[in-house]
Amino acid sequence: MNRLTDVSWEDFSSLPLEEKSPYLSRGDGDGTPYHTLFAQQFDRPLLERLCALANRIRFINKSCEGAMFLKSVLAHKRAMLYFSQPSSRTFLSHLAACQILGLTTGSVRDAATSSEFKGESNEDSVRTFSSYFDMIIMRSPKQGLAEKMAWELSNSSRPIPILNAGSGKDQHPTQALLDIYTLIRSFEMKGGVDGRTVVFCGDLLRGRTVRSLSYLLTKFDGVKQIFVAPKELQVPDDVIAVLKEKGVEHSLSSDLKAAVKVADAVYMTRIQDEWDESKGESAKIDTSHFKFGAEELALLGPDGVIMHPLPRRDEISTVCDHDPRAMYWRQMRNGMWIRAALIAAVFGYEKTIMECGY
Ligand code: NCD
């Protein structure tokens, strides 16, 4: 078994992502994560298990007795939500997921209200949280922070799991999980996700959800990926390198309408201008052709789905909001269930829930 205690930070951090995964698992032999940091930790069987667990949790939660049972599962655990970047959905859905399972929670949503304001390092803050909590759910603008903290905590006298709720421009593994869960549910009665065409559109350069989801889609057979963006915001080379290595059919385009005609799912994203290196840099890019409105809706097939990690600006017109193919509202609720499934699995309660009598 690979353990983070057996590897130096230097050796661990220089491994390719897929080789890091075994170090981050619970060690049950089935890949269940202990720390959840990257999409690369999920293979197809694990994705399917987590989706089944999420379905089970949402079913059990329908009855009062079932909901009370779920609330007892992790009532002995506490989770810290440490969000030093803005968030609505990811924060609230993790909070609600904890509440479903009975975890009590604490939170920091603004470094200005924590000792970081007095100059404490992120590392010391995380060590502090580990004194009081049993899990840290964290979002940070710093790309490698969650990974570094996972290594630090595993090598400390109080190891607790880290769940990455968004790291820099890099990864957002639980968003990718909820996106996959939404795709699986959307195509459940329509032949499944294998063989589908997924179109990504918007700021593909800086959107961390795109990198994580593009990777998870490689776990399905024959899923084609089309990246539609202005050339300045096209998908980065590392994402394409993964697709090439795995032999995944993909293409780059600037023609959203043409892509929508062949799409089973269209994944819209907003312009991530908080990452602009100079003020107003993104505003100079012509993004007018990268918006989904009534014309695109008319071109989308009857079984097609429109997705968005949200928040949206104007990249999906509100005329789409009541169309049955608009999945962005459902994505939010799916996120709560799949995050509850992940948290239960991280603490080793997958079987307890799957096999309970409710
Ligand atoms: C995304 C994020 O934070 O990366 N939002 C989210 O978690 N639902 C996408 C975004 O902010 O555009």
Q: What is the mean pLDDT of residues 197-201?
A: 98
Instruction: Note the pLDDT of residue 12.
Output: 98
Residue to probe by mutation, ligand 1, list 87, 89, 167, 175, most atoms within 8 Å of CB: 175
* Catalytic (active-site) positions: 89-90, 118, 139, 172
Q: Is the pLDDT of residue 331 over 90?
A: yes
Kindly report, residue by residue over 218-250, the tens digit of the pLDDT: 999 999 999 999 999 999 999 999 999 999 999
Instruction: Note the pLDDT of residue 1.
Output: 79
In terms of DSSP H, where are the helices of the chain? 9-13, 17-24, 44-60, 64-73, 89-100, 122-132, 145-154, 173-186, 208-217, 237-245, 256-262, 294-299, 328-346, 350-354
Q: Which atom of ligand 1 is nearest to the CA of 269?
A: 12
Kindly report, residue by residue over 36-90, the tens digit of the pLDDT: 999 999 999 999 999 999 999 999 999 999 999 999 999 999 999 999 999 999 9
Confidence of residue 122 (pLDDT cuts 50, 70, 90): confident
DSSP assignment, residue 235? Answer: P
Q: Which atom of ligand 1 is nearest to the CA of 270?
A: 12
Q: Is the pLDDT of residue 113 over 90?
A: no
Instruction: Note the pLDDT of residue 187.
Output: 98
Determine the Cα–Cα distance for residues 314 and 298; give it in Å rounded to an integer: 18
Residue to probe by mutation, ligand 1, list 84, 143, 171, 172, most atoms within 8 Å of CB: 172
33 CA distance to ligand 1 centroid (A)? 22
